[in-house]
Amino acid sequence: MKSRSLPAAIVMVSVMLMLALWVGWRHRVEEGPIRKPSPPVSPALTTSVKPSSPGLRDGLESAGSGFDWSSLSDEELRAYSRTFRTEAAGRSYNMDRKVISGEPVVADVFEAAPGEFVFTRLTPTISSDAEGRPFVKVQVESFSVGGPDGVRDRIVRAKDVYPSATQIIGVAYDSGTYSVAVGAEIRSEHEVQLRSSGSYQQAVPVAKTE
């Protein structure tokens, strides 16, 4: 009698063990594999100050050359300029970010005078020369919105930027000198790492001699 019940007990234990293993396997499948948390992603845009309103910047930063900036009120333009700088940051900027080839990007905005805002817009486009060497043609635009003359151009230049090279554009006005430096590297077929810095130095009034 005992010899017959022993195999049955062994079979019962085996069935219960297999059932327990199956339930545990189903639980792991439903939960999915355990993964380590992903590290935080660094922001693409580097400026001297942290943007106070990134949503506003995201909506206007890639506005093309056909966008009517004069349609914005002084308060809207002033709020937009604050996403690039504070009063303590002065009239200079530094930018290092990835952009799509042919995409215009607003690199900087500052209020030069009450109601007059100076923009710097860059458009990098991947190209190649006659020898087949790749480079990035960067269109550099600086223009004013508001003020006595409405919208007017300050700088409109195109520079051919080769890897590890920097092009500098400087323009002198009666009120001061504005200079822009640009560098660019091709990251993929359609993507460019764009680096730029700019600064405005106000002219020192010359004392009149008697």
Three state DSSP letters for 17-60: HHHHHHHHHHHHHHHCCCCCCCCCCCCCCCCCCCCCCHHHHHHH
- What integer pLDDT is reported at residue 187 of this predicted model? 93
- What integer pLDDT is reported at residue 23 of this predicted model? 53
Position 15 pLDDT exceeds 70? no
Per-residue pLDDT tens digits for 113-168: 888 888 899 999 999 999 999 999 999 998 888 877 777 777 889 999 999 899 99
Q: Which DSSP string corresponds to 135-157? A: EEEEEEEEEEEESTT-SEEEEEE
- Bridge-partner residues for 176, per DSSP? 202
In terms of Cα–Cα distance, which of 53, 77, 75 is closest to 144?
77
Mean pLDDT of the chain: 74
Residues 6+ apart with CB under 8 A from 161: 124, 135, 136, 137, 138, 167, 182, 183, 184
Per-residue pLDDT tens digits for 53-91: 344 444 455 555 567 888 888 998 988 888 886 555 567
Least confident segment among 6-20, 80-94, 181-195:
6-20
Give the neighbor-by-neighbor strand order of the sheet with 167-172: 92-100, 191-202, 176-186, 167-172
Measured CA to CA, the distance from residue 106 to residue 198 in angstroms comes to: 12
Mean per-residue pLDDT, 179-199: 93
Measured CA to CA, the distance from residue 202 to residue 50 in angstroms comes to: 25
- What integer pLDDT is reported at residue 43 of this predicted model? 32
- What integer pLDDT is reported at residue 50 of this predicted model? 35
Helix, coil or strand: residue 186: strand
CATH for 54-202, among 2.60.40, 2.40.380, 2.60.98, 1.10.287?
Answer: 2.60.98
- What integer pLDDT is reported at residue 207 of this predicted model? 57
* Domains of the chain by residue range: 54-202
